[in-house]
Amino acid sequence: MDTTDLIKVSEYEWQIPKTGSMRVPGVIYADETLLKEMDEKVRFQIGNVASLPGIVKASYAMPDAHWGYGFPIGGVAAFDPHNGVVSAGGVGFDISCGVRTLLTEIHRDEFLPHKEKIADALFRVIPAGVGSHGKIRLTPEELDRVLEGGAEWAVKMGFGRKEDLERIESYGRAKNADPSAVSSHAKERQKNEMGTLGSGNHYLEVQEIREIYDEKIAAAFGLRLHELVVSIHCGSRGLGHQVATDYSKIMLKAAETYGIFLPDRELACAPLSSPEGKSYLGAMRAAINCALANREILSHLTREVFLDFFPKASLPLLYDVSHNTCLEEKHSVDGEMKHLFIHRKGATRAFGPGHPDLPESLRAFGQPVLIGGTMGTSSYILAGSAETERRAFSSACHGAGRQMSRTQATKQFQGRPLAHSLEERGISIRCGSFRGLAEEAPEAYKDVSAVVQATHNAGLAIRVAKLVPLACVKG
């Protein structure tokens, strides 16, 4: 990215001045190296988002930002409920793609003798890959209950624990979901996909806590050096993708109907107060519930595998965070608390200490922010900071961010040699497709450690612990 016309606010904050149709400035959080490595399209997309009606304060990009559909991935934007809009492109196609992390209290040395067998068992029990189907078969009526109930439904059906719910965003269930706003085609795609990992950058990874940066927060989160955690990264599968596809078309017509100027057709949107906007919000919340239920089921399956090897292991949930959402939240704007609709596309909510929406057990320390790496690289656990509210509506990065397209990656890397090299480094890989493995080569992504460091230094979240992979199931 060319930085010559950007205003350098600090070493980790850069402003794009208002020009043309922009209603607010753009803000990028990154160090200079990450900024210059960003695609030039990121800047244009930030400016395009800043042109949408009802946007509040600024159009933001996180340190892992890269070009996406309409919004940049890593983009954050808040909209006023009275004159603002909602955009399917501002949420993304994998609605509520997210990460949940389970604690194990199992030391690395206890795990290593069982590593290969556990990796095999996880791959056998948890369906992964394109179009993967699970053992759960849902009637249309039962699927509607999933879309209304989220993780609450999963727990009720025996696929999880009641105590998990307080450690999930929205306590495991997005309210005001509307299954009737979800197309029959979207539901058809999902009826056999509950309890599956999917493909792309989705994974289930057994990780070792290798470094701790903040002892106090780590202790509150239950993180101890050299113990294992299990992180699960997946979303709303075929249903969420179809919801985004359906409403992108609906919103394109709605924008024309309501006279909304679109600098990019991919920013198709509808007023939050319109029938189209309300219908999308209901369908999107249903997709969020689909994703929350799916991750709860995957946690249940993971726990069953570990119990076969470690009968005393309970694997409590640390937290579950979603990316790709539009959530109604209260935030301070110029000293006044306002209801806003926050689009986070490839970005993580990061409430700071004392936030009333956090469970009491975590409230004093801030929300766990779970940052996934890619195979062979580190992942991180952060905590929401006291500063992030005023910086970006309590938002942080969500991962490393791609620096190479999937097509480019498959031209440069081959899955089988990549798997072999990871195995040589002590990382057990189980995958449904070697092509899919090549698409997710570590080199196809930015340096996640640099992204996390920039997030920490920018005041978006506090670095707490570093995780390294020992076994990974990939789609």
State what percent of residues in the chain have pLDDT above 70. Answer: 99
- Whole-model pTM: value is 0.95
Structural tokens at position 228:
């294992």
> What is the predicted pLDDT for the residue at 439?
81
> What is the predicted pLDDT for the residue at 308?
97
Residue with tokens 């600090």: 10
Asked whether the predicted pLDDT for residue 417 surpasses 90, the reply is: no
In the chain, where the domains are located:
7-403+445-474
pLDDT category at 406 given cuts 50, 70, 90 is confident
Please compute the mean of the pLDDT values over residues 117-140 and round it to a whole number: 84
Please compute the mean of the pLDDT values over residues 113-137 and round it to a whole number: 85
Structural tokens at position 12:
């980790």
> What is the predicted pLDDT for the residue at 363?
96
Please compute the mean of the pLDDT values over residues 172-201 and round it to a whole number: 93
C-alpha to C-alpha distance for 399 and 429, rounded to whole angstroms: 20
Summary mean pLDDT of the chain: 94
> What is the predicted pLDDT for the residue at 413?
83
> What is the predicted pLDDT for the residue at 419?
84
pLDDT category at 192 given cuts 50, 70, 90 is confident
> pLDDT of 425-452, one tens digit each?
999 999 877 777 788 787 778 789 999 9
Asked whether the predicted pLDDT for residue 241 surpasses 90, the reply is: yes
Asked whether the predicted pLDDT for residue 63 surpasses 80, the reply is: yes
Cβ atoms of residues 459 and 391 within 8 Å: yes
Residue with tokens 């952060």: 382
C-alpha to C-alpha distance for 386 and 402, rounded to whole angstroms: 28
Give φ, ψ of 101 to 5 degrees.
-125, 125
> pLDDT of 73-111, one tens digit each?
999 999 999 999 999 999 999 999 999 999 999 999 999
- Which residues have a catalytic role annotated? 398
Q: What is the dihedral of CA 128, 134, 140, 141, to 10 degrees?
A: -120
pLDDT category at 132 given cuts 50, 70, 90 is low
> pLDDT of 313-361, one tens digit each?
999 999 999 999 999 999 999 999 999 999 999 999 999 999 999 999 9
> What is the predicted pLDDT for the residue at 199?
78
State what percent of residues in the chain have pLDDT above 90. Answer: 83
> pLDDT of 393-402, one tens digit each?
999 999 887 7
pLDDT category at 129 given cuts 50, 70, 90 is low
Outline where 71-225 has alpha helix (H): 88-91, 108-111, 115-125, 140-149, 151-156, 184-190, 215-221
C-alpha to C-alpha distance for 146 and 163, rounded to whole angstroms: 19
Q: What string of DSSP letters covers 315-364?
A: --EEEEEE-SEEEEEEEEETTEEEEEEEEEES-EE---TT-TTS-HHHHT
406 or 276, greater pLDDT: 276
> What is the predicted pLDDT for the residue at 131?
62
> What is the predicted pLDDT for the residue at 130?
62
Please compute the mean of the pLDDT values over residues 143-167 and round it to a whole number: 97
> What is the predicted pLDDT for the residue at 404?
77
Class for the domain spanning 7-403+445-474 = alpha beta
Nearest to 59 by CA among 95, 110, 23: 23
